[in-house]
Amino acid sequence: MTKGEPIMILKRPGVNTQQTMIDKASVKEVIEFERFCRDNALWEEMEKCYAKESHVMISWFKGTGAEFVAASRKMKGRAPHKIYNTEIWLNGDKAIAIMLVSIQYRVVINGCPVELMSDAKLVFRVQKMDDLWMIQSMEGIYEKDALVPVYPNGNLTISRDELSKFRDPYACLSYVLTMEGYKVDSALPGIDQPEQVEKLYHEVNEWLIK
């Protein structure tokens, strides 16, 4: 596999060589370790996963990787991630990885403990620099979410008018983040606007084959 070969993401990968297997494992390791660090407050190690000129764009944050780590460090509560599948496409020293995650966050709303569960895809651009794979970008694609009472007799009441202010794929996430003082970007890729998702896939694919 040579650099510059026109690889299209979302297509079935070809035959793996020993080197591509090593590279895919290394890419998967660094992006999963970044999430592990985020969930376990390992801030210094988390920052080491990002390239100097990296960028992050998710529901509540837009900026560099280093700024993202600093902002994550200041968040009040924990929002652990459950990682499911990760698909990786390689082109020389570049890789695109799409990770399926569920973001879980426990919060009290109107006196009721609830679990926020937000399903999303995280799209990473990763590049080998000085023999280490580094995250160049991380962007979110939002699918669906829910607020579920922690206890069976939980009496959770939220006005539909309040939730209707936000886009459906991340309405509950946006509600909770707004409640906690964060400004949420309402123009992010989500399954309700497939053209946005296609645009993101086109952009990362162009970066990969460039």
Tens-level pLDDT at each residue, the chain (210 residues): 344 444 579 998 888 999 999 999 999 999 999 999 999 999 999 999 999 999 999 999 999 999 999 999 998 877 889 999 999 999 999 999 999 999 999 999 988 999 999 999 999 999 999 999 999 999 999 999 999 999 887 788 888 899 999 999 999 999 999 999 999 999 999 999 999 999 999 999 999 998
- The sheet carrying 81-91 orders its strands as 61-63, 50-58, 132-149, 112-129, 94-109, 81-91
Helices (H), 75-193: 160-163, 171-179
Residue among 185, 202, 154 nearest 9 (CA): 202
CA 191/CA 206 separation, integer angstroms: 21
**Residue 200 has what pLDDT?**
96
pTM of the entire structure?
A: 0.93
Domain borders along the chain are 18-209
Look at residue 7 in the predicted model and tell me its pLDDT: 52
Q: Indicate the fold that domain 18-209 takes in CATH.
A: Nuclear Transport Factor 2; Chain: A, (3.10.450)
Distance of CA 98 to the CA centre of its chain: 9
Q: Which residues contact 183 (CB under 8 A, 6 or more apart)?
A: 60
Q: Is 210 exposed, middle or buried (0-12, 13-18, 19+ CB in 10 A)?
A: exposed
Nearest in space to 61 (alpha carbons), one of 190, 197, 204, 177 = 177
Q: Which of 205, 2, 207 is nearest to 91 (CA)?
A: 2
Predicted confidence at residue 77, as pLDDT, reads 75
